[in-house]
Amino acid sequence: MTALPSKPVRSRRGAAAVLLGLPPALLALLSLPYLLSTYDLGIVVQMMIFSLFAMSLDLLVGFTGMPSLGHAAYFGIAAYTAGLLALKLGWGVWFAMPAALIASALTAVLFGFLALRTRGSYFLMITLALSQVAWGIAFGWRSLTGGDDGMPNIPRPSLDAHWPLTDDRAFYYFVLAFVGLGTLLLVRIVASPFGYALRGIRESETRMRALGYDVWRYKFAAFVLAAVLAGLAGCLYVYYNRFVSPDYLQVVRSAEVLLMVILGGAGTLIGPAIGASLIVVLENLISAYTERWLMMIGVIYILVAMFAPRGIMGFIRERLRARARP
């Protein structure tokens, strides 16, 4: 990990670039439904959903230094909750989605009590093991979840009786709005004193404790927050896919989202979004040609770890730093 400055140092030029870049980017995102085919629009929707998912994990991995290998649990639990409530009780999006987020949060509270007693490799193992429990329930409880057949025909949400989101363009805006909200929340968290305390914990827990911070409570809060945002991504994905199966919360997915974070660059928000978008595009491209996606992504894992362990953003940062030096 690179040491971060203790104070938020953001160059004025950087801030100006963000301000100037924002309106065109927003305009582009808003006009995409009118520029792209339905298929491509679907890929953009996936890119956005997985960006949110990866950014939520980065709050733990990159900002707090907690290497979770079970993040798909919260994604999947929210997806199952939203799906079950829609299918079995006919709940609409405004009730099902908050309920799903609460389910993710409660799971994180429970898992957090266990996992937060450990760190490092132990934390990695325990988060993985706990997420497999969730997978085991989804897989084993056939009468409720349909086992490994999953649950098909989950309806697309409608905002109210007159405004269904069956239209792909309308659904795109729905996803854009929620991913935007989630991202905004993450940006605020990361830039807040709370966010800086998390970075402090990443660098040295003992020092933070000596400064009077209740480290456990900060880690716990980050853990639950990350789970809720992962749950939001899970909800959006189940509405997009209209299907949920145990694959949603499997370790393969947990590893994939970790790869997205590291590929893009842990410890930044834009990095995981880039990593997630890249992986989604690659998956769609490669899956079109071969069934050996698992093997291909295995190779990608190794390449990233060997040659770009700081990710794309880390690479760019190093370049910039090298240029800035006289």
Query: With CB under 8 A as the contact rule, which of the stretches 51-59, 75-83, 150-158, 297-305 interacts with another protein?
Result: 297-305
**Closer residue to another protein (CB): 215 or 235:** 215
Binding status of residue 301 toward another protein by CB under 8 A: yes
Please choose, from the candidates 272, 254, 242, 198, the residue with its C-alpha nearest in 3D space to the C-alpha of residue 74: 254
Distance CA 84, CA 95 (A): 12
State how far Cα 136 lies from the chain centre.
22
Q: Which is nearer to another protein, 227 or 232 (CB)?
A: 227
Residue 203 is a binding residue for another protein (CB under 8 A): no
Instruction: Please say whether the beta carbons of 225 and 64 come within 8 A.
Output: no
Is 133 near another protein (CB under 8 A)?
yes
Alpha helix locations (H) across the chain?
Answer: 12-35, 38-58, 72-88, 93-115, 121-140, 142-145, 168-191, 193-203, 205-210, 215-241, 251-264, 270-289, 293-307, 311-324
278 near another protein, rule: CB under 8 A: no
CB 85 within 8 A of CB 246: no
Q: Residue 109 interacts with another protein (CB under 8 A)?
A: no
Q: Which stretch binds another protein (CB under 8 A): 37-45, 76-84, 238-246, 247-255?
A: 247-255
- Shortest spacing between CB 97 and another protein, in angstroms: 27
Are the C-beta atoms of 59 and 186 separated by less than 8 Å? yes
User: How many residues at the interface with another protein, by CB under 8 A?
Assistant: 43
| Nearest CB to another protein, comparing residues 183 and 245 | 245
Nearer to another protein, 97 or 297 (CB): 297
CB 280 within 8 A of CB 43: yes
Retrieve residue 57's tokens: 């994990």
Which of the residues 39 through 98 are near another protein (CB under 8 A)? Answer: 61, 67, 69
Does position 126 bind another protein by CB under 8 A?
yes
Confirm or reject binding of residue 25 to another protein (CB under 8 A): no
Dist. CA 29–CA 78, nearest whole Å = 26
Closest CA to 275 of 310, 249, 245: 310
The Cβ of residue 139 has, within 10 Å, a number of other Cβ atoms equal to 18
| Calpha distance 236→48 (Å, rounded) | 10
For residue 301, the minimal CB distance to another protein (Å) is: 3
Determine if 129 is a binding residue for another protein (CB under 8 A).
Answer: yes
30 or 302: whose CB is closer to another protein?
302
Looking at 28-36, 99-107, 189-197, 288-296, which segment touches another protein (CB under 8 A)? Answer: 288-296
Question: What's the closest the beta carbon of residue 128 comes to another protein, in angstroms?
Answer: 7
User: What six digits make up the tokens of 44?
Assistant: 């953009």
Considering the rule CB under 8 A, would residue 309 count as an interface residue with another protein? yes
Q: Does 137 bind another protein (CB under 8 A)?
A: yes
- At what angle are helices 93-115 and 121-140 packed, to 10 degrees? 140
| Minimum separation from the CB atom of position 314 to another protein (A) | 12
Using CB under 8 A as the criterion, which residues of the chain lie in contact with another protein when the complex forms? 61, 67, 69, 113-114, 117-118, 120-122, 124-126, 128-130, 132-133, 136-137, 140-142, 251-252, 255, 258-259, 262, 266, 292, 294-295, 297-302, 304-306, 309
